[in-house]
Structure 1
Amino acid sequence: MARIARRRFLKLSGTGAVAAQSGGLAAVLASGRAPALAQETTVHWLRWADFVPASDVLLKGQITQECKKATGITLKLESINANDLQSRITAAIQSGSGPDIIMAIGNWPQLYAESLADSSDVAEEIGKAQGGYYDVSRLVATVGSKWIGVPWTVGGGLIAYRKSWFEAVGHNTFPETWDAFRDAGRKLKAKGQPIGQTAGHTFGDAPAWWYPYLWSWGGKEVEADGRTVVLDSKETVESIKFAVALWKEACDEGGLAWDDTNNNRAFLSGTVSATNNGASIYIEAKRKPTTYLTEKGTPMVQDILHARIPKGAGGQFNLPTPFTDMLMGYSKNQAAAKTFLRWVHSKPAYDAWFTSQQGYSDGATKEWEKHAVWDADPVLRPFRDIPPFGRLAGYAGPPNRKAAEVVTKYIIVDMYAKAIQGMPADEAAKWAHAEVVKAYASPA
């Protein structure tokens, strides 16, 4: 990454974007002196441990150094396991102290809206400068006209699969329907090459599989009014029955206990033939072509392709994962934190991080659809199209606090997990329906 000079930052970050702080921050930066508010100020940013390790290296190294040079702010960057983020958020809000900025996954910001600072000024400036936000990013980061966070990126899953293994069981292209997928999976499992999928309590891969799966059968949580729960439907029950058969016939049954790392390891070790995942499996195989090999001794990366989850009678969908930077209401460094957010979301700074992702993430704004990263590797290009064609948890209603509660409690995931473990399909649907009713009846 080329050094992000003050002059280039000011030129590219959007007209007036960094000048909103009182006292003329743009002029101060242009003069080469750190702004008074930021001198000796530390901003604490809590994030997940990225599935693309190179991006964490970049943030903790050059981005942190450039932040100090450009703004005078000392960035304290902390990364933890993503499944531990919510407990840290809860503890920080309850104690009234902690990181100034915390990365939220999916529609989590809706859970904490009352505890977050108004970020409308920063978010609006960035959106206007970079072609506008995708709806999936805007919806989870706003309550009415108020921005409760600044959208950072959009992740999402596609099925990574071993091309040669599917061809060997008669599927020269990836199965487009659930019946064809079941047929391929049955044959692959018989050869010791099952499909790998989680039905456990893990933030990413479990919802990213089971929500689109439910929608593809025509099932949904609520009506468009966001109040009427309709999960216990014929479509949902049929999806559960099929899921149980698919699991037993085609899947690695240990997936009930998997988190978001197990399927990566299983795929790269050659024990599963396909798994719904972000681009991290392919990126890791590409990074270490002599480490991850096929049974023939060739680089596994040459045998990996990506495809969308199969379609059903209800359609074909994905569940994008918007990531949002939440400015915490308890923070005593809100002015400096906003300065930092303006800087790190600006084109020159963000470009360095986005490039390091290699196609694992989409931008939160439409500007990044045109980035050269998408021309570098055709195997990763399908990830570019995740944000415009996704549904959010809570469909057909809004992705609000109630929908976020359903995700956080893993109600949809557990509906399928309970059936896989022996609960009759109709009882699993009734149980989940009742739990969703409780969530939607709770105070807003």
Structure 2
Amino acid sequence: MQDITRRVALGFGAAALAAPALAQIPRTEAGSLNAAPEPGATLRVIRPARFVEPDETVFRANAQRFQDRFNVPVRVDFVGWEDIRPQTAVVANTGTGPDIVIGWGDDPHIYADKVIEMGDVADYLGRRYGGWGFLSEKYGRQHGTGRWIGIPIGGNIGPCCWRASAVREAGFDRIPEDHEGFLKLCLAMKRNGKPVGFALGNAVGDGNGFAQWLLWSHNAFLVDEEGKVAINSPETIDALKYLQELYQAFVPGTLSWLDPSNNRAFAAQEIHLTANGVSLYFALKNDPKMAAIAEDLQHSWMPKGRAPTPPHTATVMNAMLFRHTRYPNAAKAFIAFMLESEQYDPWMQGSMGYWAPPLKAYRASTVWDSDPKLGIFRDTMEQRYWAGYRGPISQASGAVSADYVLVQMCAAVASGQATPEAAAREAERRARRYYRNA
């Protein structure tokens, strides 16, 4: 899915760096951030690896601009999605390593006592760019204190990605909103030799995303509003029984899929329906050999089932500043700089909105109207579901996500290793290890 040439990628990067003149991002004067870099400061940053080339090329170019402007050398390392959490744990537990870790959404809540509060950065950016989105507030602020322990950088949502021709061949002109209709569609596609596929392996984005959709669309949830474990419920059992039927339409191998797997399978025409972010469309659209598939690809919400609205959330990149850093002002200045429109909008433009913005003003970016297939991603950070729904985001919710409790519950049922009832009990047992008082 990343088979576009470096020449094409650099072309996107160069075009993106010229984008601010077209973007017209509304912003207001919000004073200045009192975080002048310390003399002699240097910074090391780690963040998740890119799925689209300009995510890295433009991000690196922006980091170089910060280095040139403030005379602060910056080293940026891109880390595999499944590796960022183990590395974050090492940083937190040893008190050494990168100054800034751009990790996953609820990670700052796992290490809340080891990170620097960044309310000054959040206040400056929020006032300047129209306020923070719903999920930005959820993941950035510590529950019960309101302290900003993370600064969300962007969110990636995984709507349904489907081949219109294959869906029509199965007798449908769109993705049904109900479970029964969606099951009929997927089984018909499988009979036509055009199966579907959703990640059931330990995939940070796609695995968690599918498991969450499955549960939420049946009105099941991990914990209630007070944080009491509620995963072992009739609604969860219904969701897992539905998965047993839906899994019959899956292509073989999904039990081991990681985040790149469904991209590759879709591009190879091994599957014709999945859930994914912009990266899949980006790769197809920018590969001349894949132009026909890109034209045929459509985005829509996953079925809402019993939920009042399509139950989606975002995989959020969240910046943490650990207490061991010798240069906290330089680190804060870097985070703020990367979210300023002169840097952020070119990054977003170049990546076709792959990381949707955490600040509301960026909803006005021209990227969302540059291609009608991108509009669904505009309000990614306004989704009303989150990891650990319906309870507070906390150390426990972060640990459950990191331990893939929900994903492995689904995989156990799909593989036939556990009944829905047994899998729900095991998920409850595992969740209670983290929600000790629930």
* 1:17-66 alpha-carbon deviations (Å, 9 max, x no partner): 34x13xxx5xxxxxxxxx6x24x432111111111211201222x32331
Is the 1:134–1:365 Cα contact (8 Å) retained in structure 2? yes
Aligned to 1:15: 30
Q: How many residues align?
A: 414
Residue 418 of structure 1: how far off its partner (Å): 0.8
1:246 deviates by: 0.7
Q: How far has the Cα of 1:168 moved from its partner? A: 0.7
Q: CA deviation at 1:321?
A: 2.0
Name which of 416, 434, 438 aligns with 1:439: 434
Residue 225 of structure 1, CA deviation: 1.1
Q: 2:320 aligns with which of 319, 326, 337?
A: 326
Q: Partner residue of 2:298?
A: 305
TM-score, normalization: structure 1?
0.89
In 2 relative to 1, CA 3–330 (structure 1 residues): closer, same or farther, beyond 3 Å?
farther
Q: 1:158-186 CA distances to partner (integer Å, 9 max, x unpaired)?
A: 11110001001101112222211111111
- Report the alpha carbon displacement of residue 350 of structure 1 after superposing the two structures with TM: 1.4
Matched ranges for 1:340-419 at <5 A: 340-419=334-413
**Alpha-carbon deviations, 1:79-126, whole Å to 9, x = none?**
111110011111112221111101121212111111111111111111
Amino acid at match of 2:135: V
CA distance in structure 2 between the partners assigned to 1:82 and 1:13 by the alignment: 35
SS at match of 2:266: helix
Cα separation, partners in 2 of 1:217 and 1:107, compared to 1, 3 Å: same
Deviation string 1:101-160 (CA, Å, 9 cap, x unpaired) is 011212121111111111111111111111111121112122212111212112111111
Aligned-partner SS, 1:271: coil
Conserved? CA contact 2:134–2:384, under 8 Å: no
Residue pair 1:194, 1:274 contacting (<8 A) in 2 also: yes
Secondary structure of the corresponding residue to residue 372 of structure 2 = coil
Take 1:397 and 1:12, find their aligned partners in 2: how far apart are those partners? 33
Over 3 Å counting, the alpha-carbon distance change for 1:212 and 1:17 in structure 2 is farther
Does residue 262 of structure 2 align to residue 263 of structure 1? yes
Match of 2:149 in 1: 148
2:70 maps to a residue whose letter is T
SS state at 1:82 partner: coil
SS of equivalent residue, structure 2 residue 172: coil
Q: Contact between 1:134 and 1:364, CA under 8 Å: does it hold in 2?
A: yes
Residue identity (%): 27
Larger Rg: 1
Residues in 2 aligned to 1:112 and 1:285: alpha-carbon distance in whole angstroms: 38
1:442 CA displacement: 6.7
Contact 1:14 1:346 in 2 (8 A): no
Letter in 1 for 2:30: T
The residue type paired with residue 213 of structure 1 is L
**Matches of 2:29 and 2:369 in 1, distance apart?**
25
Query: Does the alignment pair 1:274 with 2:289?
Result: no
Stretches of structure 1 that go unaligned for 5 or more consecutive residues are: 6-10, 26-34, 294-298
CA distance in 1 between counterparts of 2:50 and 2:380 reads: 19
Taking a change above 3 Å as real, the CA distance of residues 204 and 44 of structure 1, as seen in their structure-2 partners, is same
1:101 is matched with: 100
How many angstroms does 1:3 deviate by? Answer: 7.7
Residues 293-320 of structure 1, C-alpha deviation per residue, up to 9 Å, x if partnerless?
Answer: 6xxxxx2111000011112123431022
The letter of the residue matching 2:351 is Q
| Cα deviation, residue 13, structure 1 | 8.4
- Name which structure has the greater RCO, CA cutoff 8 Å, separation 6+: 2
Q: Distance in 2 between matches of 1:151 and 1:17?
A: 20
- Measured in 1, the distance between the counterparts of 2:19 and 2:380 equals 29
Q: Secondary structure at the match of 1:236?
A: helix
The CA distance in 2 between the partners of 1:12 and 1:314, in whole Å, is 36
- 1:4/1:45 Cα in 2 relative to 1: closer, same or farther (>3 Å)? farther
Residue 4 of structure 2: aligned partner: none
Q: Please name the residue that 2:135 is paired with.
A: 136
Q: Tell me by how many angstroms 1:220 deviates.
A: 1.1
- The aligned runs of 1:7-406 (5 Å cut-off) are 14-18=29-33, 20-21=34-35, 25=36, 37-38=38-39, 40-60=40-60, 62-143=61-142, 144-226=145-227, 228-248=228-248, 250-288=249-287, 290-292=288-290, 299-315=292-308, 316-406=310-400
Shift of 1:12: 7.0
1:2–1:353: structure 2 CA closer, same or farther, 3 Å change rule? Answer: closer
Q: Distance in 2 between matches of 1:442 and 1:54?
A: 45
Output the amino acid matched with 2:86. S
Are the counterparts in 2 of residues 320 and 390 from structure 1 also a CA contact under 8 Å?
no
5+ long unaligned stretches in structure 2? 1-15, 21-25
Asked if structure 2 preserves the Cα contact closer than 8 Å seen for 1:182 and 1:246, the reply is: yes
Kindly provide the CA deviation profile for residues 253-304 of structure 1, in whole angstroms up to 9, marking residues without a partner as x.
310000000100000011101111111110111111x2226xxxxx211100
Once the two structures are TM-superposed, the CA of residue 387 in structure 1 deviates from its matched residue by 2.2
The one-letter code matched in structure 2 to 1:165 is A
Write the letter of the residue equivalent to 2:339.
H
